[in-house]
Amino acid sequence: MADVKIYLDDYRTAPRGWELAKNFNEFTNLIEHHIAEENRIVAIAFDHDLEPDHYDSSDVWRLGKTGYDAAMWLIGNHPQVLRDVKLLIVHSMSPSGGDRIERALFDHYNRGDEMWPTMYRRPGWDHRANEGRYKVNL
């Protein structure tokens, strides 16, 4: 069993030691792969806008799967993953999209008796620009 960190983002590269998922399908496949391998997912970083069309439209909710959809899929299909997660990061440049992801995760943890993980909101967090400023050891 390995500890895994997943970084969902279509644009940025994943920090060292994190596995990159560039879209909703890659995210769901990566989660299911690690569940099948009995790995423990200890950290997830969510971006909201995952398709090129998301950046140019105020009607983003109809233009393909977003980071919010990924969070809702995880909550609905594999809530057990959220019991092991120690760190959640929402790093979207979209204020409303980031809020939706946060709200979905907060609602999930408020419904159950799981321990809350550490949760950060870093709009536009780019690990390369902040190297050394945000160290999280898992």
Q: Looking at the predicted structure, is the pLDDT value of residue 108 above 80?
A: yes
pTM of the model: 0.78
> CA–CA distance from 78 to each of 25, 28, 71, 95 (Å)?
15, 10, 10, 26
Residue-level pLDDT at 52: 54
Q: Looking at the predicted structure, is the pLDDT value of residue 129 above 80?
A: no
List the structure tokens of 51.
């398709």
Q: Is the dihedral of CA 121, 124, 127, 133 positive or negative?
A: negative
Q: In the CATH hierarchy, which top-level class contains the domain 3-121?
A: alpha beta
Q: Looking at the predicted structure, is the pLDDT value of residue 40 above 70?
A: yes
**Lowest model confidence (mean pLDDT) among 16-20, 100-104, 105-109, 115-119:** 115-119
